[in-house]
Amino acid sequence: MAEIAQDSGGGKKGGKVRSKKMSTRIDFTPMVDLGFLLITFFMLTTTLAKPQILALVMPEKDIKKEDIEPVKESKVLTLLLGADDKVYWYEGITDAKLDSTDYSAEGVRDVILKKMDKVKEQFGLVDYKKKNKEGVEEDLQGSYINVIIKPMKTARYKNLVDALDEMAICKVRYYVILDVSPLEEEFIKNPAGGLKFSVDEQVEAATK
Amino acid sequence: MPKHKPKRSAPTIDMTAMCDVAFLLLTFFMLTAKAKPQETVIVDTPSSISETKLPDAGTLTILVGKDGKIFLDMAGSHTRMSLIDDINSRYQLGLNDKEKLVFANLGSFGVPRNRLKQYIDTEPTERAKFPTEGIPVDTADINKSELADWVHNARLAQFRMKNEGKVKEEYVIVVKADKDTPYPAVQSVINTLTDINVNKFNLITSMEGAKKEEK
């Protein structure tokens, strides 16, 4: 490929040594190769530099007690995110049974989907509209399930993101991140003792 | 008839034009590529299935390191200038115009307000060695929380700049925490934000390596 055309000259005449004339053509192919390689590199790094985000909407802090709409206990699933990538969960409040699982597809996702099925059987489905990626409104149906995510002090940030991911995967419409109450910490230490949970206290804590 | 062989020469294409184009594009991409500012804290974000990209609007980033230390970074030197003017006169930090300019072009920072002057006066090469203790947060008393104060005033500064037409959009609040950050550190940031009525914000995540199967 790379060649430098060379004049053979006019042969040797009269012993005069003529300097060989070199053509000034330079093969640009390797330079173009290099150029495009660098372009590819810069193109890829600039587009990949944009990070991904997970939008999060928290409830208002100074919400009034009257504005709180009670939900049915049987629709509620509470996930307590604990240490060492463990999830403790219980349904409802009265006679709550504590169980634990992990963040794998067979773990917490299964728990959520099973709860969704249960709620679906009891209450049917809710119709709602949601804008898809193209901005067109779609008619969707979802479960009435309410998930409460409570990361404990020992949890790490990844656990929260994982839990929020599961909400997106299972298409849970109503979920909220709350603080763990001391009663729940006690419940985890002593599951047999049952959950002595007062809703009023929780409301009090949320509206302080 | 003897076969007449045409004289064959290697087909050479003039690559000059292609080379020109290639380097023009190269220059363009090199100039548009943003130089990564020096990171004061290394944050390894957790992976998520979310595919939403960070919007182009100016961002106010709250970085939470692995050890729970909090750092702040905001886009726009106009806004930063306006912000530091405000903070400087309010808390008498004693910064001169040159130091304010340094702040306007500073990357992320994580020092308490009373040591900010000292931090700015440090040579840029020495800043990595500066003991960073993070921006203090006080979840019990929001008026004492420096993080709340910074975020609140930065948003106001951005709003002023928007009114002056120097920036187009208000800040998008972004929380960038390490995947191993203990939750209480993140919790204090979230509580601080809701305390100052920032109820909508974004968590920075990275692409999920193996995509989880959707059910």
Cβ distance A39 to B25 less than 8 Å, yes or no, reads yes
User: Residue A129 and residue A135: Cα distance in Å, rounded?
Assistant: 11
| Residue B20 with chain A: CB contacts under 8 Å | none
- Closest-CA distance, A30 to chain B, in angstroms, reads 10
Q: What is the pLDDT of residues B110-135, one digit of tens each?
A: 888 888 888 888 887 777 777 778 88
User: Residue A21 and residue A204: Cα distance in Å, rounded?
Assistant: 95
pLDDT above 50: residue A167: yes
Q: What does the DSSP assignment read for chain A?
A: -----B--TT--BTTB-PPPPBP-----HHHHHHHHHHHHHHHHHHHHTSPEEEEEEPPPTT--GGGPPP--GGGEEEEEE-STT-EEEEESSTT---EEE-SSTTTHHHHHHHHHHHHHHHH--EEEEEE-TTS-EEEEEE---EEEEEE-TT-BHHHHHHHHHHHHHTT--EEEE-PPPHHHHHHHH-GGG-----HHHHHHHHT-
| Neighbouring C-beta atoms of residue B96, cutoff 10 Å | 10
pLDDT above 70: residue A146: yes
User: Residues B145, B137: contact at Cβ < 8 Å?
Assistant: yes
What does the domain layout of chain A look like in residue ranges? 67-206
Percent share of chain A, pLDDT over 90: 0
Query: Are β-strands A87-91 and A126-131 bridged in parallel, bridged antiparallel, or unpaired?
Result: unpaired
The mean pLDDT value of chain A amounts to 77
User: The tokens 């404990």 sit on which residue?
Assistant: A152
Is B188 at the interface with chain A, CB within 8 A? no
pLDDT above 70: residue A125: yes
User: Residue A139 and residue A144: Cα distance in Å, rounded?
Assistant: 16
Q: Which of A49, A54, A59 sits opposite B202 (nearest CB)?
A: A54
Q: What is the pLDDT of residues B145-187, one digit of tens each?
A: 888 888 888 888 888 888 888 888 888 888 888 888 888 888 8
Is A25 at the interface with chain B, CB within 8 A? yes
**Dihedral Cα B165, B167, B170, B175, nearest 10 deg:** -160
Residue of B nearest to A27 (CA): B15
- Closest-CA distance, B123 to chain A, in angstroms, reads 28
- The dihedral through the CA atoms of A120, A75, A142, A158 has a sign that is negative
- Closest-CA distance, A70 to chain B, in angstroms, reads 22
Average pLDDT over residues A60-83: 79
Predicted TM-score (pTM) above 0.90:
no
Look at residue B97 in the predicted model and tell me its pLDDT: 84
The amino acid at A183: L
| Residue B212 with chain A: CB contacts under 8 Å | 105, 165, 169
Residue A11's pLDDT band, with cuts at 50, 70 and 90, is: very low
Q: Which CATH class is domain A67-206?
A: alpha beta
Q: What is the pLDDT of residues A83-124, one digit of tens each?
A: 888 888 888 777 777 888 888 878 888 888 888 888 888 777
Query: Are β-strands B59-64 and A146-151 bridged in parallel, bridged antiparallel, or unpaired?
Result: unpaired
Residue A7's pLDDT band, with cuts at 50, 70 and 90, is: very low
Q: Which of B12, B48, B194 sits opposite A52 (nearest CB)?
A: B48
Is A128 at the interface with chain B, CB within 8 A? no
Q: What is the pLDDT of residues B47-88, one digit of tens each?
A: 888 777 777 778 888 888 888 888 888 888 888 888 888 888
